[in-house]
Amino acid sequence: MFTYFTHRVLVMIPTLLVISVITFIIIQLPPGDYLSNQMAELIASGDRAAIEKLAFLRQEFGLDKPMLEQYAVWLGIWPGNNGFSGILQGNLGWSFEYNLPVGEVVGDRLFLSLVLNFTTMLFVYVVSFPIGVYTAVRQYSFGDHAMTFIGYIGLATPNFLLALILLFLAKKHFGVSIGGLMDEEYIDTDMSWGKFLSICEHMVVPVIVIGTSGTAGMIRRLRANLLDELQKQYVTTARAKGLKNYRLLLKYPLRMALNPFVADIGNLLPQMISGSAIVAVVMSLPTSGPMLVSALQSQDQYLAGSFLLFLAALTVVGMFVSDLALAALDPRIRLGSEASK
Amino acid sequence: MSEYRYPVKELVSDYIRAGSGVFVPLGLILFTDLLPLVTYIMVALILLFGIYGLRTMLRQATVITIDDIGARQEGPLGAIYDRRIRWSDMRDFRLRYYSTRRDGKGGWMQLLLRCRDGSDSRGPIRIDSILSDFEEIVHQVHDSALERGLSIDPTSATNLASLGIGDGDPAARPPDHPPDHPADPVLPS
């Protein structure tokens, strides 16, 4: 397992590097940049002072340099005008749209995105695991049919629609204010107990909205896998030997059925992150999604790049955790593949 | 008695991995001014790959001996590293397969031999598939396990089948040997 861990870490580092290159290329692909777009407008209006300032900014941020050099400076592996000052040094760059360092513009958004996605993931697993096991063990019971029905509704309902319905219900029945991830009085304040409680209260609806489809899919998958395992010969043999149902379930079938459940962490993360961006727009959540969309539209390259890199890193780490869990749970050769030796 | 060693040419890629894992983060720490959090991550990587490099060196000097009595692992660190498991003391063995690729190809296997608690043997012994004649060792261990009626877990049974050993059925054991733990179910693949 140690060898696997080190090999997997070694795979993860170049993956992140390649992602950072692709991210940088994508945000550079459209012709021009934020400053050149601004300059075109200022030339049309004849504002000489502003034009000179923009030209200074172009030089200051190295936008006149080759793309490769811009990338290396942005990452922090090549000295720019201010020495080494890139992502590896904690400098996410400058947001031209907000005229502030990206770190200040982003504020709590990255952290809140992380908390929201992590909580959603926890919700998906905590809810789907017992329901998936129950529906498989009690196949065709009333509970199974009820959960299956709810699961299909979860799969079929668009997130934004569910968001609107739940927001209305939460406001009407529980008095939770609509939109945002905290009450207005806590915005731009330091973390406090009150702010924490406010975040928890506001997070209930977004977590349910973002997590519902993932939960429904996970329940179906776990149910199908477990049913498949429960019908195998060894389960019959074990029962014939007098092994108690509960012990039998935990000892082998459940462990076998968990493989796709664990492997899905890697697939679930990107789905949730992209899904949460749309929900964040609908629910006015101060997460990375809406700001990323805005940054991409205005070609605010460092802001967009920082967000994309963060989200990609989150996904890569998720895949890493998923692969490690899978290797620990079931290090079995897959059909159609062979060991190198 | 047969002796097996890790071929140097198979270990070269491990040395390259260890070297790149140590020197790239070290270069970043020395030549750039990193954020403290990033520095800690780089130090952790240096430690991880440093240990990996040392382990690779240890494996290069390791000799695995298989005979009728059992399996032995001997290396440069003497009693700290040496292991010896008699077949009669073997509790179970596990054959694991690991791959970092999405399609599961290009991976490697690891054979883990464990001895019973309280026996004279000293385990566990881990043997990777880059060892010369790995399949021959797996055959011997499998035969020895069958002779003693040891249970084989489903994962090992599938991996054994991929090497052409057994039929992937963990229940494959001589009929005159009952399972070790009567409460345990006998598993197919």
Domain positions in chain B are 2-60, 78-162
Which chain B residues have a beta carbon less than 8 Å from that of A248? 185
Q: At what angle do helices A159-169 and A193-230 cross, to 10 degrees?
A: 130
Task: Out of A77, A241, A332, name the one closest to residue B32 (CB).
Answer: A77
Per-residue confidence (pLDDT) for residue B53, from 0 to 100? 93
How far is the CA of B129 from the CAs of A235, B53, B97, in angstroms? 32, 18, 9
Note whether residue A246 is domain-resident. Answer: yes
B159 contacts A6? CB cut-off 8 A: no
Look at residue A233 and tell me if it is in a domain: yes
Q: Which amino acid type is present at position B48?
A: L
Q: Are A301 and A15 in contact (CB under 8 A)?
A: no
Count of alpha carbons within 13 angstroms of residue A177, beta-carbon side? 12
Tell me, what's the pLDDT at B175? Answer: 38
Q: How far is A115 from chain B (nearest CA, A)?
A: 19
Residue A261 lies in a domain: yes
- Give the global pTM: 0.75
Residue A12 lies inside a defined structural domain of this protein: no
- Alpha-carbon distance B86 to nearest alpha carbon in chain A (angstroms): 24
Burial A115-153 (b: 16+ CB within 10 A, else e): bbbebbbebbbebbbebbbbbbbeeeeeebeebbeebee
- Is B17 at the interface with chain A, CB within 8 A? yes
Does ipTM surpass 0.85 in this model? no
What is the domain range of residue A165?
A: 109-329
Indicate yes or no: CB of B163 within 8 angstroms of CB of A233: no
Question: What local confidence, expressed as pLDDT, does residue B50 receive?
Answer: 94
Name residues whose C-beta falls within 8 Å of residue A168's C-beta, 6 or more positions apart in sequence.
none
CA pseudo-torsion sign A97, A99, A101, A105: negative
Task: Check CB contact under 8 Å for B108 and A339.
Answer: yes
Report how many helices (DSSP H) and strands (DSSP E) chain B contains, helices first: 4, 7
Window 101-140 of B, Cβ < 8 Å to A: 103-110, 128-130, 134-135
Give the total number of structural domains in chain A.
1
Beta-bridge partners for B22:
none
Residue A34 resides in a domain: no
For residue A57, being part of any structural domain is answered with no
Q: Which two tokens stand for residue A220?
A: 């179906």
Residue type (1 letter), B94: R
The tens-digit pLDDT sequence of chain A (341 residues) is 888 899 889 888 888 889 888 888 877 777 766 677 677 777 777 777 777 777 777 777 777 788 888 888 888 888 877 788 888 888 888 787 787 888 888 877 777 787 888 888 888 889 888 898 899 888 888 988 998 888 888 788 888 888 888 888 888 887 776 667 777 777 777 778 888 888 888 888 888 888 887 888 888 888 888 888 888 777 887 788 888 888 888 877 887 777 777 777 776 776 666 667 777 877 777 777 778 888 887 778 788 888 888 878 888 888 888 888 888 877 777 655 444 44
Residue A95 lies in a domain: no
Residue A100 lies in a domain: no
The beta-carbon neighbor of B96 closest among A76, A232, A331 is A331
Give bridge partners of residue B109 from the DSSP assignment.
B97
Residues on chain B touching A237 (C-beta within 8 angstroms): 185-186
Contact A3 B128 (CB under 8 A): yes
Structure tokens at A75: 């990452």
**Structure tokens of A90?**
């904690």
The CATH number of the domain holding residue A263 is 1.10.3720.10
Q: How sure is the predictor about B173, in pLDDT bands with cuts at 50, 70 and 90?
A: very low
